[in-house]
Amino acid sequence: MCYSAKFPTLVFSSLVLLCFLASCSSGEGAPAGLSSKPLAYGNVNRVNIVIDDALLKGPVADSLDYYYQQAYPLMPQPEAVYDLNIIDAGDLDVLPARKELRTYVILADLNDETSETTRLVTADLGEEKMLAAREDYRKGTSIVTNRWASDQLIIYLFAEGPDELAKLVAQSYPAASARITSADRDMLLANTYQSGHNEVIADSIKRLVGISIDIPVDYKVARAEKNFVWMRRDLGVVTQNILITSVPYVGEDQISVDSAVAYRNAIGEMAVRSDTEGSYMTTNDRDLPVLPFVSTIDGKYAFEARGIWEMTDDFLGGPFFTYLLPAPEQKKLFVIDVFTFAPSKGKRNYMQQLEVIAQSAKW
């Protein structure tokens, strides 16, 4: 299977998403906390694909590649949204530990009656759901939790023939991705705050800038002054950084990609410098565009810009996320900029941890 990186434009009807989410069911047995089942294991962003060899070429493989291997926005070198691990259905019984992984997507071609994957899906979900999927491929989805292990997510996709199965992969992807992200959330939080919470730095940020944010204990203050705090976490060759400041809020015209770039460039020139004399951090919007995103933080509107940074007159760079958090009642616009320096290493997981920290903001 070819795992290339792309930026697909996704347009899906709410009806398809609702149908997919409505197909969820829970695994048998006691709740996770009381279950005698083993605790599922696996990494954040790791998805185990249970699929027949016959489907690893053709439209199903292409659809998996296009959606589950699309580029995570926005890294200097393309990194896929998910790390895929291909598993043969027969190995689930031969190797019991294969049933103790955290996240699965199981794909079955209902026309292949000799398929072990098809038999697995039919046994797990029942003939009634298979018949419904034969009548309408959009009904060939189901989500089960905690079937073989606690804290486990299994997404079943089944349809008649590779073409319909490939369409189902595409149409179910937004809802499936949302469920995978939700299932990964607790582990991502645990990884981010595994050493604890830094109450001292959090108090300083509240006092100096006027915003509350949950900082992991292993971050240190690189610079702090009235209305500005820079924190960093050093992991050998990897450095994670958080810059927080505020500017006067004038109006909605401040909420844009151009404003986000201008604010972070001003901060970078003021505070973030390299060992090369005169070098400072700036935004590199020549090699990759700065992409806008809209979300909510603390139940409020939040504007996010993602791109890559570089040091002027130097060869250092990496990804950044900049958040603009308007607080009109305080006449402030809070700016949170997070960036990573990780030469020759994957940066997706480090940026996801920084995203978790930024999203803990309250104001």
pTM across the whole model: 0.87
263-274 pLDDT, tens digit per residue, is 999 999 999 998
Distance CA 5, CA 8 (A): 9
- Reply yes or no on whether the pLDDT at 21 is more than 80: no
43-94 pLDDT, tens digit per residue, is 999 999 999 999 999 999 999 999 999 999 999 999 999 999 999 999 998 9
- Reply yes or no on whether the pLDDT at 24 is more than 80: no
Q: pLDDT band at residue 35, thresholds of 50, 70 and 90?
A: low
The pLDDT assigned to 53 comes to 96
Q: What integer is the mean pLDDT of 155-181?
A: 97
List, in order of start, the domains of the chain with CATH numbers: 14-192 (3.40.980), 199-358 (3.40.1000.10)
Of residues 29, 28, 25, 152, the one with CA closest to residue 101 = 152
The pLDDT assigned to 36 comes to 80
Of residues 9, 2, 7, 46, the one with CA closest to residue 346 = 46
Tokens standing for 53? 């060899």
The pLDDT assigned to 280 comes to 97
CA 357, 174, 142, 44 torsion: positive or negative? negative
Of residues 154, 144, 171, 139, the one with CA closest to residue 106 = 154
170-197 pLDDT, tens digit per residue, is 999 999 999 999 999 999 999 999 999 9
Output the average pLDDT for the chain: 91
Q: What integer is the mean pLDDT of 285-312?
A: 97
CB 285 within 8 A of CB 307: yes
- Reply yes or no on whether the pLDDT at 2 is more than 60: no
The pLDDT assigned to 30 comes to 44
Distance CA 353, CA 226 (A): 26
- Reply yes or no on whether the pLDDT at 145 is more than 50: yes
The pLDDT assigned to 232 comes to 97
Q: What is the dihedral of CA 186, 191, 193, 196, to 10 degrees?
A: 110
Tokens standing for 148? 């073989």
- Reply yes or no on whether the pLDDT at 34 is more than 80: no
- Reply yes or no on whether the pLDDT at 6 is more than 50: no
The pLDDT assigned to 275 comes to 87
Chain centroid to CA 47: 12
- Reply yes or no on whether the pLDDT at 114 is more than 80: yes
